[in-house]
Structure 1
Amino acid sequence: MGSVIGEILPLALGIAISPIPIIAAILMLLSPLARTTGLGFLAGWVLGVIVAVVVFTLLASILPESGDDGPKPIAGVITIILGLGLLFLAFRQWRSRPHDGGQPALPKWMAAIDSMTAVRGFLLGFALSALNPKNLLMGVGAGVAIGSGDLTIGATTLVIVIFTLIAASTVALPVIAYLVASAKVAGPLEALHQWLLRNNATVMAILLLIIGVVLIGKGIGSF
């Protein structure tokens, strides 16, 4: 189980450090309906992470393999493809970074956050975690690692819980901090929001590059 946890940690961190959902959570916490939309977004985010990793864990667990200690070529090929996909996304992120102090392009849905309800916040959180291409690729990678790891049901459940806690932590922490001390965290949240806006593309490009290379190396080692 320890080796599987080691494999899914960078993938969970990749989801956790993704700036766009953190920015969305912060904007909701600075909106008039902060508490309800923030909690709805967090619930949708967590559920999306769980659904993605569980679905691909189940699919990976039925892949034919050569044996417990032998090579796992199918999982290896899938992992290499995922790594190449992340490298492509890293290149796109790097190309999209703002130049000469320009303002980064943001998703149009961010303009509607102030009027979002808890239900819409939930749906947005689910979509960003389960359907976003970058997070989906990392969820697939985690599912392949867990499903092909020959774990017991209990160990599989524990690894999924660990993955979910790490992946959801950066969205959960601002929401929890706001619920506990909204007046004190408003300033720091706004400062974090501005920093993430400026550095979103660069952070994601570097992160995707590192994780993509790690996945490709792991996939090659599966043969």
Structure 2
Amino acid sequence: MGEAIGQILSYGVGVALSPFPIIGVILMLATPRGRINGPALLLGWVLGLALVGTIVLLVSGGADPSDQGQPADWVSALDLAIGVLLLWVAVKEWRDRPRGDEEVALPKWMKTVDSFSPAKAGALGLALSAVNPKNLLLTIAAATAIARSGASAGAQAVALAVFVVIGALGTGTPVVLYFALKERSKHILDGLKSWMEKNNSAIMAVLCLILAAKLIGQAVSDLSS
């Protein structure tokens, strides 16, 4: 189990440092329904990570993810494909980053969070974690790493739970601050939101580049051994 958890730590951090969900939950917490919608988005986020991870583990469990202690070729090929896709995301984010005083382009849904119901907030959280390309790729990579560790089903479930908890830290921190500090959290959350808006593309580009290098290097090493 220790090996499985060690494999997924970097992926969990990559998911946790997702600027748009963090910005989104901060915006929701500032609305009249913030006490309900903020936690609802967080719950949807957690469910999305858990759902994708569970599906990948179930599929991998019946497809021999390892062969005599070494990753099966299809696992290494999947790692390589995910790495290449993350590299593409990194390049795209870097090229699209705002220059100078250029205004940051934010998703249209962020302008309508005042009208969100708890169900819609939860659905948004699920979509941001399970459908967003970067988070989807990282969750698949994490679940595949867990599956090929050779751990028991119970140990794999624990490793996936650890990944989900780590992946929820970024989106969950504003919610915890909101309820713990109440009015005093406003200044902190506004500052975090502004910083995330300004540095969104750079954060995404660096994260995806580092994780892409890890996956591609690992896949090349496995396929050549």
TM-score normalised by L of structure 2: 0.95
Matching residue's letter, 1:157: A
Residues 3-23 of structure 1: CA deviation (Å, up to 9, x unaligned): 222221111111000111000
Q: 8 Å contact 2:66–2:148 — kept in the other structure?
A: no
Q: Is the 8 A contact 1:38 1:121 kept in 2?
A: yes
Distance 1:168 1:156 in 2: 18
Structure 2 CA distance for aligned equivalents of residues 216 and 58 of structure 1: 24
Aligned position for 2:51: 51
Deviations along 1:30-63, one digit per CA (max 9) or x if unpaired, are 1121101001101101100100111111112222
Report what 1:176 is aligned to: 176
Q: Once superposed, which parts of structure 1, at least 4 consecutive aligned residues long, lie more than 6 Å away?
A: none
Match of 2:70 in 1: 70
Equivalent position of 1:205 in the other structure = 205
1:17-36 equivalences under 5 Å are 17-36=17-36
Deviation at 1:67, TM superposition (A): 2.4
Question: Is 1:42 aligned with 2:42?
Answer: yes
Residues 13-162 of structure 1: pairs in structure 2 closer than 5 A: 13-64=13-64, 67-162=67-162
- The residue type equivalent to 1:196 in the other structure is M
Q: 2:71 touches 2:148 (CA, 8 Å); kept in 1?
A: no
Aligned length: 223
Aligned residue for 1:47, secondary structure, equals helix
One-letter amino acid of the counterpart of residue 195, structure 1: W
| Residues 59, 147 of structure 1: 8 Å contact kept | no
Structure 2, unaligned runs of 5 or more: none
Q: For structure 1, list consecutive stretches of 5 or more residues without a partner in the other structure.
A: none
Classify the secondary structure of the residue corresponding to 2:70. Answer: coil
Q: Supply the distance in 2 between the matched residues of 1:66 and 1:146 (Cα, whole angstroms).
A: 11
